[in-house]
Structure formats: C-alpha cells, structure tokens
Amino acid sequence: MDIQKLVSQLTLEEKASLCSGLDFWRTKPIDRLGIPSVMVSDGPHGLRKQNEQSDHLGINDSLKAVCFPTASATAASFDVETVHEIGLAIGDTCQHEQVSVALGPAVNIKRSPLCGRNFEYFSEDPYLTKELSTSYIKALQSKNIGASIKHFALNNQEHRRMTSDSVVDERTMREIYFPAFEDAVKRAKPWTVMSSYNHINGTYACESHELLTEILRDEWGFDGYVMSDWGATSDRVVCLQAGMDLEMPASGGVNDKRIVKAVQDGKLDEKLLDQAVERILKITYRYLDNAKPDTVWDLEAQHALARRIAADCMVLLKNEDAILPLDESDEIAVIGKFAMQPRYQGGGSSHINSFKTTSLMDVLEGHANVSYAQGYDIESEQPDEALIDEAVKLAGSKKTVIIVAGLPDQFESEGYDRAHLGMPACQNELIARVAAANPNTVVVLYNGSPVEMPWLGSVKAVLEAYLGGQAVGGATKDVLFGDVCPSGRLPESFPQKIEDTPCFLTYGGEKDHAVYNEGVFVGYRYYEKKKIAPLFPFGHGLSYTSFDYSNLSLSASSMNDTDSMTVSVDVKNIGQVAGKEVVQLYVSDKQSTVFRPIRELKGFQKILLAPGESKTVTFVLDKSAFAYWNVQLHDWHVETGEFAIQIGKNSHEMLLEDTVQVQSTVEVPEVYTVNTPFGDLMANPRAKVILAQMGSNMMGMLGTIGQEEQQVGDAAESAVSKDMLQAMLQYAPLRSAVSFSGGQMNFEQLDELLKVLNQ
C-alpha cells in the first residue's frame, strides 16, 4: 500500500477525522477510498473486547476471554520466557478477534506501593521492567498485532491522574521512568505508544513535543503512532504539534473541526497532519496486510497456560520448618472466602470477562480430608465473630491450615490510590486467631501489591500469589502440594510500614503538584541506601530446594566503557527436588562522585535444575550496566573507577562478588567560571599546570593561605581552626582571588585565566 499516495488523495476534513477514533475502540474508515476501520482493545493480561456497550473503566461486559496473571504477578516470574508466552497467546487471541492493537504493556514504575494500579505494572526496578516488557512486545508483535506501550510517561499515581503534574528531574526520568519505553522502542519497535493523562514538569504528556517527538522519535527512533490515553487529549492542536497522532476515544468530531480550522487559519502546518495520518495508516495496513482471522483461539489451552504461568509466578515468602509442600493425605482446613471465590485480577480498564475461573476449593473438591470455612466477608472489613469462631474450631481439629486471604477489589483499583498498606481488619484478625489455634498455619495471599503482615511471626508459611489470573486456584494447589517448586521472586520491596517508603512524605502530591523528591532512590535503591530493612526485599523468594553458587568469573579485570565483559557463575541444585532458580546480578559503583544507589539490578536469568545438576550462567555487561545519566552531557556516562559485580540472593543478600575497573572514554568538560570553587579547580591536574605556567597570582595566593594555615594550626587558642581555613579556601569562588589579593590580581587577569582554563 502506497500510504503517501493515499494520504495525498484525502481531503483536509478526512485527514482531520482520521486523527480521532470512530467510537470507543475503532479508528475511522474512509469508505470513499476503501480505508477500513480497525479495532484496538485492552489489555495486557487478556483481551477485553467490547462489541456492544463500550467504556474504558471496565464497567460493561466484554467478550468472554482468558484472564492471565496480571503484570505484578508475571513480573514475579523474573522470566522473559513467561511474558513471551503471554504475548504469543494474546497475539493469537487478537488475530482471531480482529483486534489490531492490544493496549499494553503497562510499564510505569512502582514509585509507591500505594498506587492503585500497581497490580497492572511490573516493578519498582527499571531493568526488570524493560526486560519483561520488551520480551512481551516482541512476542505479541511476532503475531502481527501491535502493542501500545503505556502510559508514556511518569503516570505513577492514580490520584488526580488526569491533571496531576509529575515534577521530576532529568536524571531520575532517564534512569528510572524512561528505560522500559526506551528499550522497547529500540529493541521491540512497538507499533504504538500511549501517552499518559498527567502533566510532566508543567506540560501535559500529550502536549509535550520534547517527550513525543524529540525523545521518543528523534532520539529513540520510534516509528509507529502515538495515541492518547482515553480522554487524555487536552488541546488537540497542540497535541498534534507535539506528536500525538490519534485521539482516543472519539471526540464526536469536535476536535476534528479544530484541526481543520487550525490548518485553515495557518496555525497548524498541514504537513504535520499528513504525517500523523501517514503514521496511523501505516500501522493500520501493517495489521490489515497480515490479518489472520482464522487463527485458532483455544480457550481451554490458554486456561492451562494461565495455570502453569500463575504457578511459576508465585513467591514463597516464608516457609518455617519446611511446612510446605503439604502432603495430600494430611487433614487440612482451608479457610477464607478467596479459597472459594478468588480475587485474581484488578478493577478498571484491564478487567477481563473470564470464560471460567478455578478456585482452590474447585481443585480440592473431592479430597475427603479437606474441610472449608469461610472465615471473613469480602464486602465488609469488620471481623465477623461467628465466621472467625467457626474457622478457629475447624483449624484446631486439623493437622494443617491454609488461609487464603488478600486484598478485596475496593482496596486497590485503577482510578484511585490505596489509603494504606493494610489488609482488611477481618482478615488480619482471622489469621491471628487461627494461627493461635493451630501453629501449622499457611497463608496464601491474593493481592496486587504489598501488604503489611502483622501476623507474620505466628504463621509458618506465606505464599504470595499476587493476582494470578483465572486459573489461580489450580496454580495455588500446584505450589502448595509440591507439583510445582516455587520460583517467583518479588519484583518490588515489601515495606514494613508505609512510613518507610521512599516517597512517603510527598506521594500523591499537593493538589496537582507531585514532586518526585526521592529522585532515583525508588524501591530497593532507597531501602539499601537508608539501611531500612523491608519486610521482604526486592528479589526475595524461597524454594523447596536449595542452590549453591560458585566460580564467579569476570572475563576482564579492567575495561573501557566502550567494551563489554562476560560474567559467569556456576549454580548447583543441592536439594532433593527439581526447581527453578533466579540468578540475579547487581552492579555497584564503588567510587562515584554522583549520588548513586548502593547497587542496581543489571542481569537476571531463570534456570531449571534437577537435583544435583549444575549450570553455568553467563551475563554480558556493557556500558549500560555501569552508566548513570549525566545532566551536563545529557547522555549516559560512566565514571572511571572500580565497580563491584555482585551475585545476589535478592537485592540485600549478596552471595559472590568481584570487581572490575572501568575506564571512561568520555571526558565531561569542566566549565570554569568566576564562581568555580578553588577546590574544584585544584582537583584538575591540568589546571594546576596551567596556573603554575602562568605564574598566576592565584598560585601565590594559595601558597599564602597555606602559610596562614600553618600559623593557625600552631595557635591552639585560635578562633579559626585549620579545618575551617582549609574549607574556606577549598570552597571559595575564584573571584575571591581578586578580592583578597590586595590588588595583585584584577578581573581582567581572572578572565584571561578562565579563557585558558576553558580551552
């Protein structure tokens, strides 16, 4: 299809009309030229295709589909293969259902555990997020269905999400909030990007030319179309100028007229409109030319896949006395409404109309030695004495208790943030009372984000299942009874309490002003630096087997930042059962002059090992493993120095470490001004030579002050200590050389000197 030719045949009105939806989910057709309408649909963990009544909040029913575990769960797999499998399945589903773009993945960073939508996001860590989202997009698009990576960018809270302003510094954006988008654009080439609702530093994301054109397209090379989040479009013409091509959903023609008028009034260059239409049509035809509506969509097969994946995502947080796995012949009490009616997905636009749901009790049905008590209500937070008594009585009569608990729908959702990290009081009370009646208590949690666990010390085991999709019941049984060895790892830190979290002081913002004061210190980057022990650290997760690590080996002890190096480590299963281990590699900058986290995840791999089996795991590290974002260069930069390469059990417990010396090949130019402190100047060997060569008075002055320092040091009673004098000299600006030189130096000489220094 010659898209340019097609665009040249369109009238101004037709072009404007193509820049907004036909309705909630479809692009506009132009029948005259045979341009068809195509559909886009949510979402990342299953298809939410609405044929009849449409909405973007999950209110009206959509087509029956398969609900896979949500992103917070799949991130816990720490496995790029797992998300790849989901991408393939959703690709087939969309082909079958003739949906051109699946709206996702949602890759916003979990800045606070309070964000209502965290269940839809992957992680607090940009590296983990980018590896997973890029893998998902590649899989989905291999089926010729477009991804829409969202929400670009800095949409990290639900509170006032359509107007809030994320106030963030450049380095933090680049290091924490952009990498998933950048990596996806560079490696997976998403067909579309969805721009977010919020402002960024005062400008709506949809209206930001810097974001949507300079960074996304010019710098990263994005070549698809940008669509607005649903209803995010503010000033349509400004949005178009910024690079936001498609407005969703339909604006009823209101904004199309504005576009036409802006072109007619000479306020909008028609070329920009042509460009937007070209981009939209290019993707439309990419789908149409590769549409395969006869693709098989096997719901049962996907249900089985959802079960396997959910089991691989579960994180065993605690397992005292190796109480898990359970024995099927044991007398077991299963307690909790969620065991009958699991919570397995979140509310809002990602809500799937599951074709079936399996609860834990569904799969345990028929086991004569399993009894059930409800324990709590989902609708009420208040403890129900009758339900608790019944549960306690049952618990006391059985060998082991499984309590299935977690967060009800109203506790976390799209559209608003959580008010606290607590579980409903009725569930906390139930767990405490049951654990007191039977010490062999195992808690299974169905929740999309971290919770406080006031009862942790009195239960034997905790299995974090997150929101495990429609097959979660089967998967829960598979892990509890040892058919699957747990291998999930926390993709986020679980704090002890909300006051410990990095942005506790400012999260949510004042009205629309949300300042990201914590900078790059998000998640474990914060807890490690502050030495605050979380309840469970990022990367934590237990297994039914044990692994031994040895032979950490680096291919080089020194390298340039333009080189890459190989790191290998041997991992052996020294337990009794086969299991998967997540090998985690962290990099720590030992000699940084900028504020950096203690360590950052720069590699991970999930491997399956039979008992006694060993594997060598290999990672390749390049500049990106060592670099930080330099705001002077506006680029990634590596500081020359020593870096530790660490293999960690999680973000806090390091098992093996070695070091590499990395040499920077990029000099960050120093710019000296009259306000540069002496100390900064003297730290530069070149500057010292220049000063000496010029016989500068400044050198003389430094000498004089040195002598004074000597005298001061001798006078014990002096009001001016040696340290004070040294500090004053070191931090005095160069202009002081003129003021304090007693006329020996003037500003002209200083300017001359600066000229030479800055050459």
- What token pair was written down for 747? 């500003």
d(CA 581, CA 569): 13
Is the CB of 100 or the CB of 697 nearer to ligand BGC? 100
Q: Which is nearer to ligand BGC, 345 or 349 (CB)?
A: 349
- Residue 274 phi/psi, 5° resolution? -55, -40
Query: What x/- string results for residues 23 through 42 when contact with ligand BGC is judged by CB under 6 A?
Result: -------------------x
Closest CA to 302 of 244, 370, 355, 249: 355
* 704 phi and psi angles, rounded to 5 deg: -60, -45
- φ/ψ bin of 78: left (φ > 0), alpha (ψ from -120 to 50), beta (otherwise): left
> For residues 347 and 488, which CB has a smaller minimum distance to ligand BGC in the complex?
347
CB of 151 to ligand BGC, least distance (A): 6
Rounded-to-integer distance, Cα 241 and Cα 213, Å: 9
Quote the radius of gyration of the chain (alpha carbons, Å). 30
Q: Does 349 bind ligand BGC (CB under 6 A)?
A: yes
User: Judged by CB under 6 A, which of 26, 84, 110, 150 binds ligand BGC?
Assistant: 150
Shorter beta-carbon distance to ligand BGC: residue 162 or 666 = 162
Cβ 674 to ligand BGC shortest distance, Å: 50
What is the residue type of 339? A
Catalytic site includes residue 229: yes
Nearer to ligand BGC (CB atom), residue 120 or residue 581: 120
Q: Taking the complex as a whole, how short is the minimal distance between the CB of residue 196 and ligand BGC, in angstroms?
A: 8
Cα–Cα distance for residue pair 534/523, rounded to 1 Å: 10
Taking CB under 6 A as the criterion, which residues in 659-698 touch ligand BGC?
none
CB of 148 to ligand BGC, least distance (A): 7
CB of residue 608 vs ligand BGC: minimum separation in angstroms?
A: 34
Residue 627, both tokens: 């670099």
Q: Encoding tokens for residue 169? A: 């510094």
Q: Nearest approach, Cβ of 569 to ligand BGC (angstroms)?
A: 39
Residue 164 burial (CB count, 10 A): 22
Q: Whole-angstrom Cα distance, residue 300 to residue 302?
A: 5
651 forms part of the interface with ligand BGC (CB under 6 A): no
Q: How far is the CB of 67 from ligand BGC (least distance, A)?
A: 15
Binding of ligand BGC by 49 (CB under 6 A): no
Which residues does 93 contact at the CB level (< 8 Å), separation at least 6?
A: 46, 47, 65, 66, 99, 297, 302
Element (H, E) at 425: helix 425-437
- Nearest partner of 520 among 596, 624, 587, judged by Cα: 596
- The owner of tokens 């002496």 is 678
The least CB distance from residue 350 to ligand BGC, in Å, is 7
CB 342 within 8 A of CB 404: yes
Given the complex with ligand BGC, which of 229 and 247 has the nearer CB atom? 229
The nearest distance, CB 161 to ligand BGC, in angstroms, is 8
Which residue's CB is nearer to ligand BGC, number 129 or number 501?
129
Q: Are 459 and 441 in contact (CB under 8 A)?
A: yes
Q: Calculate ∠ Cα 251-156-405, nearest 5°.
A: 110
Closest distance between ligand BGC and the C-beta of residue 152, in Å? 11
Closest separation between CB of residue 230 and ligand BGC, Å?
A: 4
Q: How far apart are CA 596 and CA 603, in angstroms?
A: 18
Decide whether 15 or 48 has the Cβ nearer to ligand BGC: 48
Closer to ligand BGC by Cβ: residue 195 or 374? 195
Report the site for ligand BGC in 94-113 (rule: CB under 6 A): 103
CA distance 531 to 652: 10
Q: Which residue, among 89, 88, 83, has the nearest Cα to 106 in the 3D structure? A: 83
Q: How far is the CB of 125 from ligand BGC (least distance, A)?
A: 21
The three-point CA angle 43-350-402 to 5° equals 120
Q: Quote the CA–CA distance of 452 and 456 in Å, as a whole number.
A: 9
Q: What is the DSSP letter of 39?
A: B
Q: Report whether 339 contacts 472 (CB < 8 A).
A: no
* Short-list 465, 17, 9, 508, CA closest to 236: 17
Cα separation, 543 vs 537, in Å, equals: 16
**Which of residues 103 and 140 has its CB atom nearest to ligand BGC in the complex?**
103
Q: At what angle do helices 80-97 and 299-313 cross, to 10 degrees?
A: 160
Hey, which residues between 208 and 267 contact ligand BGC (CB under 6 A)?
229-230
| Residue 417 within binding range of ligand BGC, rule CB under 6 A | no
Cβ atoms of residues 461 and 324 within 8 Å: yes
Least distance CB 261 / ligand BGC (angstroms):
28
Q: Which of 56, 174, 217, 602 binds ligand BGC (CB under 6 A)?
A: 56
Q: In what order do the strands lie in the sheet with 565-573?
A: 547-554, 565-573, 614-621
Q: Cβ(364)–Cβ(371) under 8 Å?
A: no
What's the token pair of residue 222? 């994005």
Choose between 71 and 571: whose C-beta lies nearer to ligand BGC: 71
Binding-residue total with ligand BGC (CB under 6 A): 8
Q: Is 429 left (phi over 0), alpha (psi -120 to 50) or beta?
A: alpha
Relative to beta strand 203-204, strand 565-573 is unpaired
45 binds ligand BGC (CB under 6 A): no
CA-based end-to-end distance of the chain: 54
Of 221 and 252, which CB lies nearer to ligand BGC in the complex structure?
Answer: 252
- Among candidate residues 229, 312, 561, 589, the one labeled active-site is 229
Which DSSP letter does residue 293 get?
T
Structure token digits, residue 111:
């800045």
Q: Which residues contact 52 (CB under 8 A, 6 or more apart)?
A: 60, 61
**Bridge partner list, 643:** 589, 660
Of 454, 487, 469, whose CA–CA distance to 119 is shortest? Answer: 469
Comparison of 100 and 496: residue with beta carbon closer to ligand BGC: 100
| Active site residue ranges | 229
User: Which residues contact ligand BGC (rule: CB under 6 A)?
Assistant: 42-43, 56, 103, 150, 229-230, 349
